[in-house]
Amino acid sequence: MNLQRLPIESLRPLTGFAALRVAMVLVVIAALIAFDVPDRGALLVLAAPIALPVALAIAVLARRRPALALNPAVALVDLAFLAVAEGIAPDMYAPVRFLALFLIAAHAHFQGELRGVAIAVAALILLVPLAAIDAPVQGALLAFYECLFAAAALASGLFMGRLRHVESAGRIRALELSRRVLEAESEVRRKIAETIHDGPVQELVSLDMVLEAARRAVERGDRDRALALLEDAKLATERNIGALREEITSLGPFAIDELTLDVALKQCAPMWSRRYGFPVRLDLEDVNLPNEICGSLFGIAQEAVANAGRHSGASEVSISVRVLGERVELRVTDNGTGFDEQAALASDEPGHIGLPTMRERAEMIDGTLRIESGRDGTTVVAQAPA
């Protein structure tokens, strides 16, 4: 169970709960006026001049100071009112239990699982002894009722708190993923801009100068010089075409719709070998995959090779793609120095988000990711629907 209370993205549920609390007090007051219940006068004194102003104050607090309205003490105030009501009128045993379960579940939703259980325990401490003193039922039947109440209270606190925690954690993770996607996009744009500026742009400037020199040689009638310069221009053009094709291919199969996963890996393997200085061996089956799955698996392979080249000191990497029944498996293995995969997967530090990104790529295509790392190297295994 988690002690931390996750942040609330919208105040609407909190203000709605505060307004509902006011409405419930008003309903109680109306019911006490309309029906002849035991100890009606004392309960009206508790509800109208005390509980209603408190509920209104909490409603105002929820709008102006939501952090204070989220204090667990507010839950204890609600439960204390119920305990006082039952102490004044023991015949309110059943209504108090109904309201207590609702309040436990509602507060647990805002407080989280551990605080939710704590609120449930507080309710039991406040209410169960009162029932033992002067409840409408006694003996084994009372014990049975209180056991059910205790189980329901603890279950409500735990379940609603955990539900809130899981939902909030999922939203926070989605926001974190969006942030990483934007950062990755910016990084890709920066790298492409640097590559084009330092490579093709400089080459094209040189090409322009060579063509200008060739034009002047033609004007002078120096045919041999012009032909030599045109040959240099041809070689520069070919270098630029190769560089640009390499950059486009490195973006993955989503950059060129015609590429399949095996073709994209075959085209990128020589580039990876030149960049990181080790052979990239391929064992690939021809698999026709949707572009989204193809792109995600390529991104996992690209990141695994990059990790091997930058961090592990590997001298060889092998990549295999094969079909296993209704799933396709990508396996990237290197012989470099391993690492703690659990710590790396949990890391959000700048420069260390490659493995979490690989995991998220696998999850986005309903796939799985497994990483095995040790002294003999690292193996990354990703599976996705074929």
pLDDT confidence of residue 208: 87
Task: Cite the DSSP H helix spans in the chain.
Answer: 12-34, 40-46, 52-64, 66-69, 72-88, 93-111, 113-134, 139-196, 202-220, 223-250, 261-276, 291-307, 341-346, 354-364
Q: Which CATH architecture has domain 253-385?
A: 2-Layer Sandwich (3.30)
| Residue 262 · residue 286 · CB < 8 Å | yes
Q: How does residue 181 score in pLDDT terms, banded at 50, 70 and 90?
A: low
pLDDT tens-digit series, residues 348-368: 444 444 677 788 888 888 899
User: Is the predicted pLDDT of residue 248 greater than 80, yes or no?
Assistant: no
User: Any idea which of 163-177, 188-202, 229-243, 284-298 has the lowest mean pLDDT?
Assistant: 163-177
Read off the pTM: 0.55
pLDDT confidence of residue 272: 87
Domain definitions of the chain by residue range:
12-177, 184-249, 253-385
User: Is the predicted pLDDT of residue 127 greater than 90, yes or no?
Assistant: yes
Q: What is the average pLDDT score of the chain?
A: 84
Give CA–CA dist 4/309, Å, rounded: 39
What are the backbone angles phi and psi of residue 277, rounded to the nearest 5°?
80, 25
Instruction: Report DSSP state, residue 6.
Output: P
Most confident of 42-51, 174-183, 201-210, 352-361: 42-51
Higher pLDDT, residue 302 or 311: 302
Q: How does residue 329 score in pLDDT terms, banded at 50, 70 and 90?
A: very high
Give CA–CA dist 58/24, Å, rounded: 13
